[in-house]
Amino acid sequence: MYRVKKQDVVYTMSPENQPVLKVEAGSIVTFETCDCFEDQIQSADTVFQALDWNRINPASGPIYIEETEPGDILVVHIQKIEIKNQGVMVTGPDLGVMGFDLQENVIKMIPIQDGKAVLSDKLEVPINPMIGVIGTAPAKEAISCGTPGDHGGNMDCKQMRAGTTLLLPVNVPGALFALGDLHAAMADGEVAVCGVEIAGEVTVKLDVIKGKQWPLPMAVNQEHLITIASEKELDKAADRAVINMVQFLHEELGVEKAESTFLLSAAGDLRICQVVDPLKTARMELPLAYATALGFDPKMVGR
């Protein structure tokens, strides 16, 4: 098994990044991660203005997957997410949906106890460990790890959890895959500009699919087939998540576009991932039972 140390981080996903590790397809890799503030906040007394904003959303890696070429699909089986015992949340002026109405920055430390994130003496929420930043290098330009896109990146999709298989585009030789920005708990929207940010470790198995032109990013788990899209405007992201699913059902499974659209309108769930990043992210979730009835075989993605 391979391991990426949390000191080996990048702040952009870029074709110019140098890999910290080279592995063969089929390898299992554990990534140590800092939280999205690179562990700068250790108490609620931390001075918010003293944070180094050049160190936000670090992604551990990248790693180079041998014999992986542009046009391939990188298959990321998320096997395990382990989190530390304390997280942090922040919000304030110009941060998140309510930033227009907040007068001061607030830092809140969040203990993790008995499978719950303790927000206060009255409020506890079940943890749902997930990965905020996960992606491959774009073909040309560097993209901040704080920004999502067709390469993945800061999608903040709560389906990026243990048991999910994520499909990402390979844009450069070796893919240059990296991940970070774990959350102990996060709801759809991430409206405060953060979830319960936390450090931890993620173990993934990396495979490659060749010869397929699918609308990426996509994901598969025991419950759903998922298409994900990020755009400057949320309605455009939502539209493209739907369009991508229809495209996949039509081109890969041979389902007429009208029939695919009927199915999504009757049984698919269009959901918001996040509304606080430079691009907004939405996803279309189709229950896996319908996809398999139409001919989708989870073995296509190694499940």
pLDDT given for residue 176 in this prediction: 98
* pLDDT at residue 72 tops 90: yes
Which of the four pLDDT bands, split at 50, 70 and 90, describes residue 154?
A: very high
Q: What is the mean pLDDT of the chain?
A: 97
Helices and strands of the chain, counted as H and E runs = 3, 23
pLDDT given for residue 180 in this prediction: 98
Closest C-alpha among 95, 73, 225, 87 to residue 151: 73
* Contact (Cβ atoms closer than 8 angstroms) between residue 255 and residue 294: yes
* pLDDT at residue 54 tops 90: no
Dump pLDDT digits (tens) for 198-241.
999 999 999 999 999 999 999 999 999 999 999 999 999 999 99
pLDDT given for residue 50 in this prediction: 84
| Cα–Cα distance list, 135 to 103, 117, 181, 225, 277 (Å) | 35, 27, 12, 18, 15
Gap between the Cα atoms of 76 and 302, Å rounded: 10
Q: Are strands 28-33 and 2-4 parallel, antiparallel or unpaired?
A: parallel
Which of the four pLDDT bands, split at 50, 70 and 90, describes residue 53?
A: confident
Alpha-carbon dihedral angle through residues 226, 183, 74, 295, given to the nearest 10 degrees: -20
Q: Which domains does the chain have, with CATH numbers?
A: 19-209 (2.60.120.580), 218-296 (3.10.28.20)
pLDDT given for residue 21 in this prediction: 97
Dump pLDDT digits (tens) for 273-288.
999 999 999 999 999 9
Give the tokens for residue 19: 């890999």
Gap between the Cα atoms of 81 and 156, Å rounded: 15
pLDDT given for residue 48 in this prediction: 82
pLDDT given for residue 210 in this prediction: 97
Gap between the Cα atoms of 194 and 130, Å rounded: 13
Closest C-alpha among 178, 198, 146 to residue 76: 178
Q: Are strands 200-209 and 116-118 parallel, antiparallel or unpaired?
A: unpaired
Which of the four pLDDT bands, split at 50, 70 and 90, describes residue 269?
A: very high
Gap between the Cα atoms of 213 and 139, Å rounded: 16
pLDDT given for residue 120 in this prediction: 96
* Contact (Cβ atoms closer than 8 angstroms) between residue 83 and residue 200: yes
3-state secondary structure of 218: strand
Dump pLDDT digits (tens) for 98-135.
999 999 999 999 999 999 999 999 999 999 999 999 99
φ/ψ of residue 56, rounded to 5: -95, 145
Q: Which amino acid is at 102?
A: L
Contacts of 97 (CB under 8 A, 6+ apart): 189, 191, 192, 275, 276
Dump pLDDT digits (tens) for 3-37.
999 999 999 999 999 999 999 999 999 999 999 99
* pLDDT at residue 303 tops 90: no
| Cα–Cα distance list, 65 to 25, 84, 162, 177, 257 (Å) | 6, 28, 21, 8, 35
Can you tell me which residue has the tokens 């539209």?
239
